[in-house]
Amino acid sequence: MPKTVGVIGMGYVGLTLTAALARKGYVVHGVDVSPRVVEALSNGRVHVYEPGVQEAFAEHLGSAVTVSDRLPEQPLDAAILSVSTPVDLTTGVPDLSHLAAAAEHVAETCAPGTLVVVRSTVPIGTSRAVVLPTLAARWGEHVRLVMAPERTIQGQALRELVELPQVIGGLDEESLRAGVELFAGLAEQIVPVSGLETAEMVKLSNNCHTDLIYAFGNELALIAEQHGLDPLEVIRATNLDYPRPDLAKPGYVGGGCLSKDPYLMIASTSRPPYLVDRARALNERLPGHVAERVVELVRQAAGRTEGVRLSVLGWAYKGWPATDDMRGTPVADMMPVFRAAGLTVLGHDPLVADDVIRAYGGEPVSLDKAFADADALLVVNDHPDYRGLEVESLLAGSGVRVLFDSWRILDEAAVLRHGVRYAGIGYLAGERA
């Protein structure tokens, strides 16, 4: 018989896992506390953009997949907790109340001995300190608990849920065996680890390391900027045929994981870490720094900033793999700088809805109008639609005098031929200190 599981939390993590499990033959009961989310999913309307998820729901909804505001009364092989664990960015304190509430719901609804899987990203020790006591209070010694972190990248989640190793740490040997058996039907490789805390730290280590790598690329760009050097030239020459780890290009670091998980690692320590917090601080500073650079370039080109029209291309936190996710978007930290300078901000994104752009303070426009109606232009992400832009024709006859190409994906020579100032992160064409 197919395994029957409940997935509590229909955000990005729970939704993609539900789709992936259904495609592998599991029966999945999705749960969410939001009536809007439950109503939409129950009618086949997927609220998160991720390739393949809409198709999976269209195929399996009503048979292998159901969605409700609570778990069913029928027995489940496992209940997977995939709720959000947000962080207050002003204090760095994680909010684990959603996880505690989900554990309470499982303890009330499921039979003792049901395998409980913590899928949410949490500070080290959370599964044992928050989830276990709630289950034990109702189930006594009949608790089977594992931590199996989600580690997918947006845009490739359904593939990576199968192809990436699934790390599993158990409360005890019985829990670990049950966890391995559950995920063996989904993933090609299982990596058992020694306990709950090890699995928790694996997830945090992945994302903190990524944040740190990107921070180093951004640091190089800021140093190159002071000397009028091209950071991409430095990085390319540094990496070419050199056997040590590659340096990352400079760029914004956002999203639901990288903007939050370093704080969860910090919350796991009794002493402030040496690197994790500084890398996060640098990456959080970059969007504001770029916005200030854009304002200064506009002031130099136009002699003023008040009323100058700036088109911002790319409002999602990243362009590839493509997403509509606004969590950790650099635009959030840029807009206060633009407002203070009096800029009129026009906005375009291939996936982000117009009402979302308006909510952030932009005026939605078509891609053609983003060039035709602007005095300056800022490319924030590297969506494929922007990589293929024919800047020769788009700039011809436009009033654009400054083009800040964050990811350096456009034809620099073509931009300069139109008399437009061209810049990128840590770079200004023609500048040498």
Name the residue ranges covered by the structural domains of the chain: 4-194, 196-433
- Give the pLDDT score at 432: 65
- Give the pLDDT score at 256: 87
Close Cβ partners of 332 (under 8 Å, ≥ 6 residues apart): 287, 326, 360
Is 7 in contact with 14 (CB distance < 8 Å)? yes
HSE, CB side, 13 Å, CA atoms: give it for residue 138.
17
Q: What is the DSSP string of 47-61?
A: -S--TTHHHHHHHHB
72: DSSP letter: -
Place of tokens 């292998």: 64
Pairing of strands 376-379, 309-313: parallel
CA distance 140 to 35: 33
- Give the pLDDT score at 115: 98
Does residue 4 sit in helix, strand or coil?
Answer: strand
Stated pTM of the model: 0.93
Name residues of the chain where pLDDT drops below 50. Answer: none
Architecture of domain 4-194: 3-Layer(aba) Sandwich (3.40)
- Give the pLDDT score at 419: 95
* 196-433 classified as CATH 3.40.50.720: yes
Close Cβ partners of 340 (under 8 Å, ≥ 6 residues apart): none
Residues 157-196 pLDDT 10s: 999 999 999 999 999 999 999 999 999 999 999 999 999 9
